[in-house]
Amino acid sequence: MDSTGYFLPILIVLFVAGTIILCLIERMFEPKGSYEKWLKEELERNPDYIHWLKDTDKGKYHALGLKILTKIERDKNNSYYKWLKRMRKIGKY
């Protein structure tokens, strides 16, 4: 094979590897399951639910609830999210 014959397979391998890496990164940042999604919605609606989580199942999901609750509080204090919430309320986005 001449020099152009090696370029295409290397390019395909790099493309496939990049795609796999991007999929793994995306999967890492999305919620793990339906319970986490439900728990996030419940904690947004009722932050005192965290006290109930501490008592049930020997605190199995208490740490997860605390992590989600701190993320919710951090997002509430972020000026970008405040701006985005105002824009959604206006109806432009």
Question: What pLDDT score was predicted for residue 33?
Answer: 78
Question: What pLDDT score was predicted for residue 70?
Answer: 87
Whether 20 and 32 have beta carbons less than 8 Å apart is answered as: no
Q: Give the residue ranges of DSSP H helices in the chain.
A: 3-29, 34-45, 49-55, 62-77, 79-90
Greatest alpha-carbon pair distance for the chain in Å reads 69
Q: How confident is the model at residue 12 (pLDDT cuts 50, 70, 90)?
A: very high
pTM here is 0.50
Structure confidence by residue, pLDDT tens digits, 21-60: 988 888 777 766 788 888 888 888 888 888 888 888 777 8
Domain residue ranges in the chain = 1-30, 33-93
Whether 66 and 52 have beta carbons less than 8 Å apart is answered as: no
The tally of CA atoms less than 13 A away on the side-chain side of residue 61 is: 16
φ, ψ for residue 32, nearest 5 deg: -70, -40
Q: What is the mean pLDDT of residues 66-84?
A: 82
